[in-house]
Amino acid sequence: MRILGYPLCKLGALLKLAKATMRIRTSMLINKPPEELWPLLCRSRMDPRIPCYFRLGMPKPVECRLPDGVGGVGQRRECISNRGVIHQRIQKWEEPTRLRFAMEDTTLYFHPCVTAMADEFVLVPVGERQTKITRTTDINVIGFAKLAKSLAMGAGMKCIHRYVFKNWASAI
């Protein structure tokens, strides 16, 4: 049986996904060792170009930083976009291989429907001069049209992950 063109078993999986935390994972190979890539997770500015998907209203990352100037578990991190700021608290700091943080609050337009957002970066050396960087973002969406919002947030976060990785790859 099909509903809206989807087999019933797949539609059920989509509805179940809408009730759970959405997980977005992106990886990229960057031609620098983890020790040279790590500082960009804590202090970096993105290039000024505006790809078309950011022209459609998605927040464009501008800068990430440690507002207190120091990193570590319990310290603050900020992700600044052209549409607002996400204030984060660092939960895991294993320089130069793992960084995890969670949103404390945000001025972005999605704040009424996102109850939680957490990110983790894992940097794995590949040979002597490369790093496989993986970013995992978990987002919990609530409210009306949760499935549609979850899918839109997931697609948007995937674009943001790729944009940031490409910036970091060209910055170093």
DSSP letter for each residue of 46-72: --S---HHHHTTPPPEEEEE-TTS--S
- pLDDT value of position 12: 54
pLDDT single digits (tens) 97-154: 999 999 999 999 888 889 999 999 999 999 999 999 999 999 999 888 888 888 888 8
Q: What percent of the chain has pLDDT over 90?
A: 67
Q: Is the separation of the CB atoms in 65 and 167 below 8 Å?
A: no
Q: Can you tell me the distance from the alpha carbon of 80 to that of 89, in angstroms, rounded to the nearest whole number?
A: 14
Domains detected in the chain: 21-171 (3.30.530.20)
Residue 32: band (very low, low, confident or very high) from pLDDT cuts 50, 70, 90: very high
Query: In 3D, which of 85, 99, 92, 81 has the Cα closest to residue 42?
Result: 99
Tokens representing 170? 């060209």
- Report helix, strand or coil for 113: coil
pLDDT single digits (tens) 65-85: 999 999 999 999 999 999 999
